[in-house]
Amino acid sequence: MIDEIYSDAQQRMDKTINVMRDNFSKIRTGRASTSLLDHVTVDYYGSEVPLNQAANISLEDARTITIQPWEKSMVQPVEKAIMKADLGLNPSTAGQVIRVVLPPLTEDRRKDLVKVIRAEAEDGRVAIRNIRRDANSTLKELVSEKEISADDQHGGEARIQKLTDQHIERIDGLLDEKEKEIMTV
């Protein structure tokens, strides 16, 4: 019973970390990365598809992403999709190749991005703590229903607290890593 609660909490905490990691990858650091365009969708003959299913995305250099649509007719829709994605990027077209040059980040913009990722990390910590609270309340219910003893409850709470601490450390590690990446000129 306690193991089930523990494994459920662990799965939920791991999902929280993955969501936070995905959100961090969407934050631009001044270096080009194809992952910046991961959540961009393009209208492909009436249906919305991820950009990487309608075009080849690659890095030309440290600050330039090149996008080559599979079909010539898709150049304009791809360009519009990138502009609509609200990433602050301006694509330029040369024939069938679309280039996205990432402008250098100013010091103020870097500081703003650090604030954004710190808020994102805090949201992750809150989510982890909420999962801990849910698991602990489930343990309390089991004690009140006399399905487990108070000693088992305390042991389970200690395991869940240890799990919580591990996940919050992972969040802090990811935050430090992303902060260094953003502040590196």
Specify the residue for token string 């650090």: 114
DSSP, residue by residue, 44-108: ETTEEEEGGGTEEEEEEETTEEEEEESSGGGHHHHHHHHHHTTSS--EEEETTEEEEEPPPPPHH
Neighbour tally for 175: CB within 10 Å: 20
**Tens digits of per-residue pLDDT, 9-55?**
999 999 999 999 888 877 766 677 777 787 888 988 888 888 888 88
CATH numbers and ranges of domains, the chain: 2-26+106-183 (1.10.132.20), 34-101 (3.30.1360.40)
Q: Write out pLDDT tens, residues 75-120.
A: 888 888 888 877 777 888 888 899 988 877 788 878 888 888 899 9
- Residue 123, φ and ψ in degrees, nearest 5: -60, -40
pLDDT tens, residue by residue, 61-81: 878 889 999 888 888 888 888
46 sits in the region (left: phi over 0; alpha: psi -120 to 50; else beta) called: left
DSSP summary character for residue 38? T
- Residue pair 124/16 in contact (Cβ under 8 Å)? The answer is yes
